[in-house]
């Protein structure tokens, strides 16, 4: 008799766990761009191969992007970026894993809501904790997310040769934009 009760409880908990399955929103077409501004030169690159997943129940999310996915206005800049600075053959991707602070207090609507994003950003094989502002809102059935923040090259051990040091900013502005759809 006790065994039957145990089996019923196991089945009940299993069924309940399926009903509380995670509601995930994803994209494989997010966009991350960066901008470096110096008196000698402005450099901009864009990557439209950004994957992102958001757990709508917890506010946890992750980004991943191939470093070689960044495109520049000329091929030589792109080559130097991949071979000399980010060493994309050795460090082929950048990853962010984190969460939106106070997710449960956020009421998603069509109006952008200011949020704080916290987690670990990995660039050039180096993990750093970050805490940055962002915005999130609903658009039809999608969740839109944006963030704009700065990255210091020294924090990720990105070395710039002396010859071009005055052409590349020490602090790079990063812009993130994703349209996440239900999975």
Query: Is beta strand 113-123 parallel, antiparallel or unpaired with respect to 93-100?
Result: antiparallel
What is the pTM assigned to this prediction?
Answer: 0.85
Question: What's the structural domain count of the chain?
Answer: 1
CATH code assigned at 170: 2.40.128.110
How does DSSP assign 74-94, residue by residue? SHHHHHHIIIIIS-TTTS-EE
Instruction: Look up residue 157 and give its two tokens.
Output: 């051990």
Distance CA 68, CA 162 (A): 24
Which pLDDT score is estimated for 164? 81
> Is 7 part of any domain?
no
> Is 15 part of any domain?
no
Helix/strand/coil for 40: coil
> Is 174 part of any domain?
yes
> Is 16 part of any domain?
no
> Is 80 part of any domain?
yes
Distance CA 170, CA 32 (A): 19
- The answer to whether 120 and 142 have CB atoms below 8 angstroms apart is no
> Is 3 part of any domain?
no
Nearest to 148 by CA among 177, 111, 110, 112: 177
> Is 38 part of any domain?
yes
Furthest-apart CA pair in the chain: how many Å? 82
Instruction: Look up residue 179 and give its two tokens.
Output: 């349209």
- The answer to whether 94 and 121 have CB atoms below 8 angstroms apart is yes
Nearest to 63 by CA among 154, 178, 159: 178
Helix/strand/coil for 183: coil
Which DSSP category does 20 fall into? T
> Is 45 part of any domain?
yes
Which domain, by its residues, includes 138?
22-182
Which pLDDT score is estimated for 149? 98
Question: Tens-digit pLDDT profile for the chain (183 aa)?
Answer: 556 556 555 554 554 444 445 799 999 999 999 999 989 899 999 999 999 999 999 999 999 999 999 999 999 999 999 998 999 999 999 999 999 999 999 999 999 999 999 999 999 999 999 999 999 999 999 999 999 999 999 999 998 878 888 888 999 999 999 999 998
């Amino acid at each position: 008799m006790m065994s039957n009760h145990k089996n019923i409880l196991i089945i009940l908990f299993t069924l309940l766990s399926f009903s509380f399955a995670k509601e995930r929103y994803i994209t494989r077409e997010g966009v991350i761009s960066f901008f470096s501004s110096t008196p000698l030169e402005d450099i901009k690159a864009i990557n439209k191969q950004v994957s992102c997943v958001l757990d709508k129940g917890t506010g946890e999310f992750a980004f991943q992007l191939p470093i070689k996915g960044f495109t520049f206005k000329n091929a030589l800049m792109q080559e130097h970026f991949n071979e000399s600075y980010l060493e994309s053959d050795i460090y082929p991707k950048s990853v962010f894993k984190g969460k939106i602070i106070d997710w449960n207090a956020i009421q998603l609507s069509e109006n952008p809501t200011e949020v704080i994003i916290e987690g670990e950003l990995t660039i050039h094989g180096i993990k750093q904790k970050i805490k940055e502002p962002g915005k999130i809102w609903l658009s039809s059935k999608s969740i839109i997310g944006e963030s704009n923040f700065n990255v210091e090259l020294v924090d990720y051990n990105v070395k710039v040769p002396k010859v071009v040091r005055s052409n590349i900013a020490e602090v790079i502005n990063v812009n993130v934009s994703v349209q996440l759809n239900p999975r």
